[in-house]
């Protein structure tokens, strides 16, 4: 049983560019959440998708957007990249609309130069 | 506001000893707590969870204790092994929140 998978694992982008990160949830999971983890910090909640809709959003600007597909996979898009967007982006999946334990993927390391 | 914090940023133990990692939370509406282990370059790995209607839960070599009176959570690791070396995060969720709120983490180092 594959766990949560994210792609790509590493990415380097230039300031001002746009990036799309992808996540496939664990089998049987229908809820996907995205987190940003800066070096030496705990993950910070970006948003959660359930039934293809954004259900809750953290304190992130509109440059951060997402999507959930009918197969429950999800994308995180970041526009107009800033140097401060450099971080590990984590996807977590869970069942039942997020009421059960959340399992994380290995993350995408984004570096903005 | 909501916050989850850890008392100790680093913990160093000898192999075979028991480890205790502590966590404080401030949101009294929190009703679900999770401990994660994160190794360098990897995503957080689920260790154990506990709901607010319990005060203790045991897993394989790990025990989580929840004290709602003082809003304190702890993770006990028995017979700590070098492979347990990692950063440990507690996270909480509760009320109308779907998100997990994480603390900064505790770095556990196990000396052989």
Of A95, A98, A46, nearest to A75 (Cα)? A46
Chain A residues whose CB is inside 8 A of the B103 CB are 42
Which of A42, A98, A101 shows the shortest C-beta gap to B49? A101
> Sheet holding B72-77: strands in order across?
B4-5, B19-25, B72-77, B62-67, B56-58
More confident residue, A1 or A113: A113
Note the pLDDT tens digit of each residue in A43-59.
Answer: 999 999 999 999 999 99
- Tokens 């380097």: give the residue: A12
Sort out which chain A residues have CB atoms less than 8 A from B46's CB and list them. Answer: 101-104
Average model confidence (pLDDT) for chain B? 90
Is the per-residue pLDDT at B6 higher than 60? no
Contact B64, B78 (CB under 8 A): no
pLDDT at A39 over 60: yes
CB pairs under 8 A between A and B: 55
Interface of A with B (CB under 8 A): 4, 6, 33, 35, 40-45, 48, 50, 55-56, 58, 88, 90, 92, 97-98, 101-107
pLDDT at position A38 over 70: yes
pLDDT in tens, B67-86: 999 999 999 999 999 999 99
User: pLDDT value at position A89?
Assistant: 98
The model's pLDDT over A2-13, given as tens digits with 9 standing for 90+, comes to: 799 999 999 999
Query: What is the phi/psi pair of residue A84, to 5°?
Result: -70, -5
- Give the Cα separation of A104 and B10 in Å (integer): 23
> Percent of chain A scored above 70 by pLDDT?
96
Query: Across residues B108-112, what is the average pLDDT?
Result: 95
pLDDT score of B96:
73
């Amino acid at each position: 049983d594959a766990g949560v998978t994210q792609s790509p694992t590493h990415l380097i982008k230039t300031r001002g560019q746009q990036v799309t990160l992808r996540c496939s949830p664990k089998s049987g999971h229908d809820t996907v959440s995205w987190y940003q983890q800066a070096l030496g910090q705990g993950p910070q909640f970006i948003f959660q998708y359930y039934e293809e809709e954004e259900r809750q959003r953290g304190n992130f600007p509109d440059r951060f957007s997402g999507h959930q597909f009918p197969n429950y996979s999800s994308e995180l898009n970041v526009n107009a990249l800033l140097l401060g967007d450099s971080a590990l982006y984590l996807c977590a999946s869970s069942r039942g609309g997020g009421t059960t334990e959340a399992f994380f993927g290995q993350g995408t390391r984004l570096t903005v130069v | 506001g909501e916050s989850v914090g850890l008392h100790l940023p680093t913990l160093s133990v000898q192999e075979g000893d028991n480890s205790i990692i502590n966590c404080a939370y401030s949101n009294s509406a929190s009703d679900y707590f999770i401990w994660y282990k994160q190794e360098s370059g990897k995503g957080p790995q689920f260790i154990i969870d506990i709901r607010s209607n319990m005060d203790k839960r045991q897993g394989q070599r790990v025990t989580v204790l929840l004290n709602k009176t003082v809003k304190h959570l702890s993770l006990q690791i028995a017979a700590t092994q070098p492979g347990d070396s990692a950063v440990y995060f507690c996270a909480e969720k509760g009320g109308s929140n779907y998100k997990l709120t994480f603390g900064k983490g505790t770095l556990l180092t196990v000396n052989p």
